[in-house]
Amino acid sequence: MEFHEAEQMPEQLALFAEELKAPLEEEKPKITAKQEAYLADKCREVFAHVGELDEAIGKVSERWKVNRMSKVDLTILRLAAYEMRYEEDIPVAVSINEAVELAKKYGTDDSSSFVNAILAKLV
C-alpha cells in the first residue's frame, strides 16, 4: 500500500506470488495456492482497515506521526495491529513477536524496538 497505488495491488501480488512459484534459487521459499490466497486476502483486509489502524497507531506513537514513519515499519505495524484486533486465532504476543522479527530483518537498527514499543501500547 505504501509502495504502489491501490489499483496496482492485484498485479503486484500476482508478480510476487509468481516469483515465489518459480524461484531462481533453490533457497527461496515456494508458495502454494492456499498461501497465495491467504496473502491476497490479508492484504485486502489490512487495506480495508488502514484508516482505523493508522489512527490507533498514531494515538500511541509519541512524537511520531504515521506519515513520518518508515514505510517498512508502518507496514509491519499495520499488519500486526490488524492481527491483534481482528485475528482472534492469533495470540497478541505472537503478533508482536512476529512483527519484531520482521522489523529486525527488514527495518533499520532501531525498527524492532520502535515496533515493539508501539505494539505494546496498542494492547
State the greatest distance between any 2 C-alpha atoms of the chain, in Å, as a whole number.
44
Look at residue 8 in the predicted model and tell me its pLDDT.
84
Residues 76, 39 contacting (CB under 8 angstroms): no
Domains and CATH numbers, the chain: 1-48 (no CATH), 49-123 (1.10.940.10)
Look at residue 28 in the predicted model and tell me its pLDDT.
59
Question: pTM to 2 decimals?
Answer: 0.82
- As a whole number of angstroms, the distance between CA 29 and CA 33 comes to 13
Residues 116, 100 contacting (CB under 8 angstroms): yes
- Average pLDDT for consecutive 10-residue bins of the chain (123 residues)? 74 77 62 83 91 96 91 96 96 98 96 97 93
Please give the distance of CA 97 from its chain centroid, rounded to a whole number. Answer: 13
